[in-house]
Amino acid sequence: MQDRIQAGRLSFIPVSIFILLINKPCEKYMCKMQAYFLAAILLGVMYAISGCSEQVEMTGTYQQVSGDVPGSSSVIELEDTKNGVWQTEIDEVSFRWSVRDNEIWMHTKTGGVIIGRITDQGFVIELPEVGSFVFHRIR
């Protein structure tokens, strides 16, 4: 609750300053300051938007090509709705996925998080006490 209140206050402050700058009578010096301030805000927003748009396209089907567990094969399907399924010979796990930096994060329905390192052909998942799994995109 406290976080929501503070986040609300922080988002309200820039809006308040912006309204004060626009409604204030303009002297020559203040007009320049207002213009610089608004330009800085605009550049910050453009920088934030451009940083958010760089996403690796991960939607598709991935086949396990190698791993530390012999005799096991698995397929991971990543849907464009950010839902996914990891299918093995004995189990199936549903999850939601996202891309952060050079990693794919898979949030399972039971609350676990599986993190994979993105490669040129797919991704690698390393699970403690199990081993690593290499997945390549097939579709």
Are 132 and 68 in the same domain?
yes
Are 48 and 109 in the same domain?
no
For the record, the structure tokens of 83 come out as 């839902």
Which structural domain range is residue 126 located in? Answer: 60-137
Name the pTM for this structure. 0.58
User: What is the predicted pLDDT for the residue at 103?
Assistant: 93
Are 16 and 81 in the same domain?
no
Count of structural domains, the chain: 2
The closest alpha carbon to 120, from 54, 56, 66, belongs to 56
| CATH code: domain of residue 100 | 2.40.128
User: What is the predicted pLDDT for the residue at 88?
Assistant: 87
- Asked if 68 and 128 touch (Cβ cutoff 8 Å), the reply is no
Are 65 and 120 in the same domain?
yes
User: What is the predicted pLDDT for the residue at 6?
Assistant: 43
- Asked if 12 and 4 touch (Cβ cutoff 8 Å), the reply is no
pLDDT tens digit at each of 139 positions of the chain = 444 444 444 444 555 555 555 555 556 555 666 677 777 787 777 666 655 544 568 899 999 987 666 657 889 999 989 999 999 888 899 999 999 889 999 999 888 999 999 999 999 999 888 888 899 999 8
User: What is the predicted pLDDT for the residue at 18?
Assistant: 57
User: What is the predicted pLDDT for the residue at 49?
Assistant: 60
Instruction: State pLDDT tens for residues 60-93.
Output: 999 998 766 665 788 999 998 999 999 988 889 9
